[in-house]
Amino acid sequence: MYLGRVIGCIVSSKKEECMQGQKLVLLRPQLVNAENPMKFDAGKNTIVAVDGLGAGEGDLVLFCQGSSARQATGMKPLPVDAAIIGIVDSVHIGGQKTYP
Amino acid sequence: MYLGRVIGCIVSSKKEECMQGQKLVLLRPQLVNAENPMKFDAGKNTIVAVDGLGAGEGDLVLFCQGSSARQATGMKPLPVDAAIIGIVDSVHIGGQKTYP
Amino acid sequence: MYLGRVIGCIVSSKKEECMQGQKLVLLRPQLVNAENPMKFDAGKNTIVAVDGLGAGEGDLVLFCQGSSARQATGMKPLPVDAAIIGIVDSVHIGGQKTYP
Amino acid sequence: MYLGRVIGCIVSSKKEECMQGQKLVLLRPQLVNAENPMKFDAGKNTIVAVDGLGAGEGDLVLFCQGSSARQATGMKPLPVDAAIIGIVDSVHIGGQKTYP
Amino acid sequence: MYLGRVIGCIVSSKKEECMQGQKLVLLRPQLVNAENPMKFDAGKNTIVAVDGLGAGEGDLVLFCQGSSARQATGMKPLPVDAAIIGIVDSVHIGGQKTYP
């Protein structure tokens, strides 16, 4: 899994039938800086993930990719390759709380 | 999933039998610019995806990769690893509509 | 899926039993140039794919990766993650035929 | 699989129900330096993996990605795409022990 | 699949039960040089693959990644995402034998 920040959402009306009602959020991956673990570097990719947990813009989340994303609640039959599986409370590195 | 722009299509007559009649489009991934979320950066990759939604050249679409692409309508038995699963109406970032 | 050029082949005699008789070709990914869509840029990777379609050196092909590659004819039980699924006749971008 | 160093952990209380009780660690991939195999280069990615083996911060571990991660003990139904599958005792390159 | 050179091995005693007795080798991906096909460029990644074919250090091998790796002999239930599926005898590019 990877850490990501929710930066927005998308709206799509013409889509696979089974995707009706699924909330689609935009994520920017967050990588722990190699020199300063208190800092996240923003990844370049923009990932669209299904959100079944009610994440809000700005939240740090944990997301799963590939076919395993379909193990998230209610997603088994969906054509999805990314899902939010947790909202992150805190990150701990080297014995310190580095987030929030 | 990722966002992509439909840039063209390919024609292949000698192909896996089961692929007959499938529309194959060329996609260029679109990444939200880190400094200016109103702007998309074009990814370097060229992805070929099956299109069952009738996307047209220039459309911004949502596509799914890997084995999950085969969850799109009618694709379960196909040797495909990318499928368009939605045509994007709008993108919203930081409380603003950034597309279209 | 991705576009690739067949650049060669490999021979392996000591291999998984079930791979006997499978033709293994070397592919170089082909990416549509962002400025000039008439041009392909060569990717850096070298991919080895199973070829069940009789592709020849120099051919532009469509290949599928991951577990979906095993949906190609006769490959379900094989330990393969890349297969040629079509030989490309033509590529069309922005209303123009850009290949061949 | 890849080698990774355990650099920390994350806490998430709002998550997929089935993820309750799973320990989530942060990994930094470790790549063998091309010139000096005694040295590891740190990868840029930050991976979050499920740890069922009791790895500690600083440990060098072996982790598996994708749907295969769900073959680790007790993970079949979970939406996880990365799992620690071994704690590394030693690495041997060119007839020499290069780690620890 | 990709080509890789066996550069070493790892030893892990605390691991997933089902991994007992599996030989774990370190691979460095080998990419055909774009200008000079007689030359391989070394990839940056270090991959750990299960070896059921008895590959030796220095051997050029063919390896499979993802869930398809579990189609190799005896690996179906294992949490593995990379397996050696062939030892390469020769590579042929542009009508020439480029390896060995």
Residue E99's pLDDT is what? 96
Name chain E's partners: 3 or more CB pairs within 8 A.
Answer: C, D
pLDDT tens digits, B8-61: 999 999 999 999 999 999 999 999 999 999 999 999 999 999 999 999 999 999
D53 touches chain A (CB under 8 A): no
CB-based contact A99:B92 (threshold 8 Å): no
Rounded CA separation E16/D53 (Å): 8
Sorting pLDDT into bands at 50, 70 and 90, what band is B76? very high
Q: Which residues of chain E have a CB within 8 Å of the CB of C24?
A: 1, 62, 86
Residue B58's pLDDT is what? 97
Sorting pLDDT into bands at 50, 70 and 90, what band is C64? very high
Distances (CA, A) of C67 to B16, B43, C42, D68, E72: 16, 24, 25, 11, 13
Q: Which residues of chain A have a CB within 8 Å of the CB of D8?
A: 32, 37, 91-94, 98
Q: Report how many helices (DSSP H) and strands (DSSP E) chain B contains, helices first.
A: 0, 9
CATH hierarchy code of domain D2-81: 2.40.50.220
Rounded CA separation A51/A78 (Å): 13
pLDDT tens digits, C16-44: 999 999 999 999 999 999 999 999 999 99
Rounded CA separation E91/E89 (Å): 7
Residue D61's pLDDT is what? 98
Facing residue for E1 by CB, picked from C17, C67, C80 = C80
B58 Cβ contact partners less than 8 Å away, ≥ 6 residues apart: B5, B6
B95 touches chain C (CB under 8 A): no
Are the Cβ atoms of E62 and C26 closer than 8 angstroms? Answer: no
Sorting pLDDT into bands at 50, 70 and 90, what band is B84? very high
Compute the mean pLDDT over every residue in chain D, rounded to the nearest whole number. Answer: 97
The answer to whether the bond into C79 is cis (omega within 30° of 0) is no
Sorting pLDDT into bands at 50, 70 and 90, what band is C56? very high
Q: Cite the beta strand spans of E33-95 per DSSP E.
A: 40-42, 47-50, 60-65, 82-87, 90-93
CA distance D46 to chain E (A): 15
Residue D64's pLDDT is what? 98
Rounded CA separation E29/E47 (Å): 8
Tokens 């034998």 belong to residue: E97
Sorting pLDDT into bands at 50, 70 and 90, what band is A40? very high
Cα dihedral across residues D81, D86, D91, D92: positive or negative = negative
Are the Cβ atoms of E86 and C16 closer than 8 angstroms? Answer: yes
Mean pLDDT of A78-97: 97
Residue E23's pLDDT is what? 98
Sorting pLDDT into bands at 50, 70 and 90, what band is D42? very high
Q: Which residues of chain E have a CB within 8 Å of the CB of D71?
A: 18, 70, 77-80
Residue E5's pLDDT is what? 98
Residue E1's pLDDT is what? 98
Are the Cβ atoms of E26 and D34 closer than 8 angstroms? Answer: no
The CATH architecture annotation of domain B2-99 reads Beta Barrel (2.40)
Mean pLDDT of A78-82: 98
Percent of chain C with pLDDT over 90: 96
Residue D30's pLDDT is what? 98
Sorting pLDDT into bands at 50, 70 and 90, what band is A92? very high
For A1-12+20-73, give the CATH class: mainly beta
Are the Cβ atoms of D45 and A53 closer than 8 angstroms? Answer: no
CATH hierarchy code of domain E2-88: 2.40.50.220
Mean pLDDT of E47-52: 98
Percent of chain E with pLDDT over 70: 100
Residue D83's pLDDT is what? 98
pLDDT tens digits, D13-36: 999 999 999 999 999 999 999 999
Burial of A38 (0-12, 13-18, 19+ CB in 10 A): middle
